[in-house]
Structure 1
Amino acid sequence: MNRVKWGIFVLLFVVIFAFIGYAQKEPYSTEKVLQSAWDKFELESFQIGVSDPIIWVEIAEGENEEDVRKYLEKELSKPDLKKFQINIKTS
């Protein structure tokens, strides 16, 4: 009987920690990635195409286009990178 109680305790412990880890992870969205880029870089605007699979990003003059592109390619999901073309323009 003692082994059964110990097994239930360990299982409950694992389930609780798994739930805590899952609950703390924010769900992914393309817009959240672009919003984080907005906060990290001086983006003037961004738009996610609905009919055209393009992400348009306008950056402030002086921002490095290549840094923004690398950041987006790192943070966007693989399906987003396959679906969307990334267009970056300096204002």
Structure 2
Amino acid sequence: MPVFGDGVRGAGDIGMYAQNFLLSLTARGLGGLPMTMLGFYADTVREFLGVPEDLKLLFGISFGTADQTAPANSFRMGRIPLQQSVVVHDTPGILDAR
């Protein structure tokens, strides 16, 4: 990630790119795992991959074919209702059940 301003907008853009990248992997039958922990080892990753010091490491993404027999890959999170996590302004009824 290039240094630009406070980095918040760049990080947001990169996050949206990552989300779409992960969705494209899924559409192709692959799995992906974003790893922010790599940021703690930025110097090691930078040295190994030859990444210039003027770039920041925000996260990495491992991807490949998921092992469907692994217990972690069968776990599914539940979801809370949208009304508990979304604030809607001046659009009455938008979250009503259809």
TM-score range, shorter chain: under 0.3
Q: What TM-score does the superposition give when structure 2 sets the normalisation length?
A: 0.25
Larger Rg: 1
Structure with more strand by fraction = 1
Structure with more helix by fraction = 1
